[in-house]
Homo-oligomer: A and B are copies of this chain.
């Protein structure tokens, strides 16, 4: 009899057959993340269907000393939710907890199970003429619980904030199996320390989010998209400052796209054609959205005119309809496919102060170019937040192992440039396992001690999400 048999029997007794996957053949979909990485296999996959079942599962793990890792839609990029290759871990998947519990349009709030897929939450909001603004590539499969655990960002952060700003209340199963009920549908509440904010971004290491009250906005009635050619990253950032000032708070996305990305998109999606008559070094893709008597067309024309006068905009195309707008955004989506088709590459999600972004991009380009002149840099991203995906495609001729080593070296070099600009090596994706070494090397003793103390306070048995963010003490 396997040492885990009594635990697995008890788990099946608790959750029923549809609540536990014991057969490794069924585990395939729980071991890979969005980047295609896989690490280890799970002990089993638990699929509780209620908060009470999550709590009972966690209690059982604690009784048996079994490690656990909470899992959402497996769209992370830092291997945070992947089973540990060194220790047996029970995957606790929230996928069966996908109820919209309540929507209250007058309160601009929606109450959901953590396993709800983001897209479904957005749809439920729209059905009540509201808007849940979190928007990202993975929205068709990522889950709200994962969005909360990783403090997800995406395309509309500059106007609506990250997940941290969109959560009003949380329900969390603690690592000891108790439930913390912080499901408050209040826009303002100043009682005690904010436990909710501590759980947000804790990557499943302090508890399992099982439910949330999320903040909605009125649904924008109209939007306006523009793809503008700009001479440089510096000009793009000056255009951003201008756009913030000329468009009130109606600017909802401001993406930098270098020419290389347009090329990738054109290759990946042959139905697309070059958006402008000539090729330009950089482009900005921006969205305005509004309700009520606001003329967004007039607003964007004024921005364009001023941008051209100031030499910040060289050419551009405005979307006059929803389908034209979707066509422009297709460049943003297709370029990601094109990037993916190139195979192994370096993916970063750094941030720097917005005012330093152009200088950072220049310094980083120079550093990579000096080290590795044949690599292709594609630096795009949510520059309105100071967030740049400074990615690097290796020369196609390189062998697998050399590629991995080269990309690792380039990452180290890039992170040094990030340090010089007081930036972050993780603006969006989190730390997980992938960035742990680089994160801890940059963290002060006092911060590391506080984080370790918090982990110990919430998870005294050290069983939940071990080895993510902080090092696994048993591995040292």
How distant is the Cα of A295 from the Cα of B385 in the complex, in angstroms?
Answer: 28
Knowing A201-B194, A245-B218, A292-B247 are in contact, say whether A382-B188 is a contact too (CB < 8 A).
yes
Identity of the chain B residue whose Cβ is nearest the Cβ of A174 in the assembled complex: B446
Q: Would B107 and A248 count as touching, CB distance under 8 A?
A: no
Smallest CB separation, A449 vs chain B (Å): 9
Interface string of A425-460 (1 = CB under 8 A from B): 111111100000001000110110011011001100
Whether A423 lies near B190 (C-beta < 8 A) is: no
Are B469 and A193 in contact (CB-based, < 8 A)?
yes
Whether B382 contacts A191 by the Cβ 8 Å rule is no
Among the 9-residue stretches A33-41, A61-69, A278-286, A346-354, the one with 4 or more Cβ atoms under 8 Å from chain B is: A346-354
Q: How far is the CB of A418 from chain B (nearest CB, A)?
A: 11
Question: Could you tell me how many residues of chain A have their Cβ less than 8 Å away from some Cβ of chain B?
Answer: 94
Interface segment, one of A16-24, A136-144, A156-164, A365-373: A156-164
B-side contacts of A161, CB under 8 Å: 161, 165
Shortest C-beta distance, A296 to chain B (Å), equals 10
Q: Are B198 and A194 in contact (CB under 8 A)?
A: yes
B187 touches A157 (CB 8 A): yes
Contact with B along A352-395 (1 / 0, CB 8 A): 11111000000000000000000000000010011100000000
**Contacting residues, chain B, for A178 (C-beta < 8 A):** 446
A224 at interface (Cβ–Cβ under 8 A)? no
Q: Is the CB of B106 within 8 A of A241?
A: yes
Q: Say whether, besides A206-B193, A422-B184, A457 and B446 are in contact (CB < 8 Å).
A: no
Task: Decide if A108 is an interface residue (CB 8 Å cutoff).
Answer: yes
How many Å from the CB of A419 to the closest CB on chain B?
Answer: 12
A429 contact set on B, CB distance < 8 A: 190
**Contact pick for A355, options B107, B298, B355, CB 8 Å:** B107
**A424–B293 contact, CB under 8 A?**
no
Distance in angstroms from A389 CB to nearest chain B CB is: 12
A356 to B102, CA, bound (A): 15
Asked if A189 lies at the interface with its beta carbon under 8 angstroms from chain B, I say yes
A426's contact among B190, B193, B295, B447, by CB below 8 Å, is which? B190
> Does A237 have its Cβ within 8 Å of any Cβ on chain B?
yes
Other-chain contact of A109, B164, B298, B353 (Cβ < 8 Å): B353
The answer to whether A201 and B190 have CB atoms under 8 Å apart is yes
Asked if A164 and B194 sit within 8 Å, CB to CB, the answer is yes
Roughly how many angstroms separate A185 CA and B157 CA in the complex, as a whole number? 16
Produce 1/0 per residue, A292-315, CB < 8 A to B.
Answer: 111100110010000000000000
Q: Mark A242-257, 1 if CB is under 8 A from B, else 0.
A: 0011111110000000
What residues on B are CB-neighbors of A353 within 8 Å? 104, 107, 109, 185-186
- Tell me if A180 counts as interface (CB < 8 A to partner B): yes
Assuming the contacts A107-B353, A181-B444, asked whether A190 and B424 have C-beta atoms less than 8 A apart, the reply is yes
Q: Point out the residues of chain B lying under 8 angstroms from A444, CB to CB.
A: 180-181
A341 interface residue per 8 A CB criterion: no
| Complex Cα spacing A424 to B302, Å | 45
Is the Cβ of B299 less than 8 Å from the Cβ of A386? no
In chain A, residues 195-217, which have Cβ atoms closer than 8 Å to a Cβ of chain B?
A: 195, 197-198, 200-202, 206, 217
Bound: A174/B445 CA distance, A? 13
Alpha-carbon gap, A255 to B349, bound state (A) = 41
Contact (Cβ within 8 A) A246 B291: yes
Contacts A193-B202, A246-B293 supplied; 14 other A-B pairs, CB < 8 Å: A106-B237, A129-B245, A150-B190, A184-B424, A192-B201, A192-B431, A192-B451, A193-B469, A195-B451, A217-B249, A248-B248, A293-B295, A293-B299, A293-B302
Q: Which residues of A contact B (CB under 8 A)?
A: 104-109, 129, 150-151, 153, 157-159, 161-162, 164-165, 174, 178-182, 184-195, 197-198, 200-202, 206, 217-218, 220, 237, 241, 244-250, 290-295, 298-299, 302, 351-356, 382, 385-387, 422-431, 439, 443-444, 446-447, 450-451, 453-454, 457-458, 469
